[in-house]
């Protein structure tokens, strides 16, 4: 049992904890956008200088691998993420399992969440506000980490966009989502998608998938990398990252019922019997934004049971 517990602790450390975007919804948070922008652009500037000191010429593969040392927690750890978690400049909150919407889940409902709670009482990731959107800090991990996997699949390896999007669904369904904690997060999928866009905007060599080119953030001049446009998080983070608007799915019907009952009892903005999504109009805007990609990023049906796939072929044929 001890090995089981610490194995899941290790998994959560690498791949993010779950987030409760409901329970403390009424707590005021300062907008972290400007501080986050400053640190993101500072890390980019410093990393470019280090690359130029070590490397001659503009090697794109080296640029991407070096940038991941500061941003991609799945590869080298993330200076940006560590700063967000430790900085007193970033307004944030978190909570323990017994205070969350998942508090009624037992060991059979979510063995990963319950076992991890024994060693890490505050199982849930911290919540911050960026450009008036509340997100779990774990979304930054998905943005840079799985976002790069999407980027590598679609833009670098020239595979289909559907293949990249299905990779994210597979990870949520089979790996760290449904079979780990019992939660399939569409907010994670939205972060993955926008992370792909970010990595493409680094050099801006390919068309933006939403037709909104934002880069280049890095340029090659006189055989050296130089910083281009500034990164602004408002161009990526939107309500699709917010799990109270872009609702998650759960592995079992009893898990759905328990969460729904907890959310109903939360006092928020004068709404009685609160449910997910808490703002259908905002979700509708996200559908308009993501258009044909919405089915891989957005959940239109609120909290429900995750579809059952008995084999890989069923999933592959989505």
CA distances to 61, 206, 207, 265, 276 from 201, rounded to whole Å, are 15, 8, 9, 43, 33
Evaluate if residue 136 carries a pLDDT over 70: yes
Say if CB 18 and CB 125 are below 8 A apart: yes
Evaluate if residue 116 carries a pLDDT over 90: no
Evaluate if residue 106 carries a pLDDT over 90: no
Scored b (16 or more CB within 10 A) or e, 154-168 reads bbeeeeebeebbbbb
> How much is the pLDDT for 171?
84
- Going by pLDDT thresholds of 50, 70 and 90, the confidence category of residue 186 is very high
Task: Give the helix/strand (H/E) hosting 227.
Answer: strand 224-227
Scored b (16 or more CB within 10 A) or e, 291-316 reads eebbebbbbeeebeebeebeeeeeee
Evaluate if residue 4 carries a pLDDT over 60: no
The Cα 308–Cα 310 span in angstroms is 6
Evaluate if residue 12 carries a pLDDT over 80: no
How high does pLDDT run on average in the chain?
86
For the stretch 85-99, pLDDT in tens is 899 999 999 888 888
The Cα 104–Cα 296 span in angstroms is 29
User: Is 247 or 1 the better-scoring residue by pLDDT?
Assistant: 247
User: Is 160 or 180 the better-scoring residue by pLDDT?
Assistant: 160
Segment among 32-36, 124-128, 176-180, 227-231 with least mean pLDDT:
176-180
* pTM summary value: 0.90
> How much is the pLDDT for 38?
97
SS3 state at 118:
helix
Every domain of the chain and the residues it spans: 2-316
Evaluate if residue 127 carries a pLDDT over 60: yes
């Amino acid at each position: 049992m001890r090995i089981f517990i610490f194995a899941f602790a290790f998994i959560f450390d690498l791949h993010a904890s779950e987030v409760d975007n409901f329970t403390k919804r009424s707590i005021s948070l300062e907008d972290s956008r400007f501080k986050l922008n400053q640190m993101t652009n500072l890390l980019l500037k410093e990393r470019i200088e280090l690359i130029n000191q070590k490397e001659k010429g503009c090697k794109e593969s080296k640029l991407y691998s070096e940038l991941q040392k500061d941003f991609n927690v799945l590869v080298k750890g993330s200076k940006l993420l560590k700063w967000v978690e430790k900085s007193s400049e970033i307004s944030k909150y978190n909570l323990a399992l017994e205070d969350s919407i998942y508090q009624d889940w037992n060991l059979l409902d979510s063995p990963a969440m319950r076992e991890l709670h024994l060693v890490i009482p505050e199982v849930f990731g911290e919540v911050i506000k960026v450009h008036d959107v509340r997100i779990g800090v774990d979304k930054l991990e998905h943005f840079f980490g799985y976002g790069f996997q999407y980027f590598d699949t679609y833009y670098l390896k020239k595979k289909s966009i559907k293949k990249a999007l299905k990779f994210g669904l597979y990870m949520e369904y089979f790996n760290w989502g449904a079979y780990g904690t019992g939660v399939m997060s569409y907010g994670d999928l939205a972060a993955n998608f926008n992370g792909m866009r970010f990595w493409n905007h680094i050099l801006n060599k390919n068309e933006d998938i939403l037709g909104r080119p934002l880069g280049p953030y890095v340029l090659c001049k006189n055989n050296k990398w130089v910083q281009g446009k500034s990164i602004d998080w408002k161009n990526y983070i939107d309500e699709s990252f917010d799990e109270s608007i872009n609702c998650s799915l759960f592995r079992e019907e009893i898990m759905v019922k328990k969460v729904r009952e907890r959310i109903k009892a939360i006092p928020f903005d004068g709404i009685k019997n609160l449910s997910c999504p808490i703002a259908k109009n905002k979700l509708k805007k996200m559908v308009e934004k993501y258009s044909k990609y919405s089915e891989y990023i957005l959940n239109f049906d609120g909290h429900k049971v995750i579809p059952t796939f008995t084999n890989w072929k069923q999933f592959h044929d989505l």
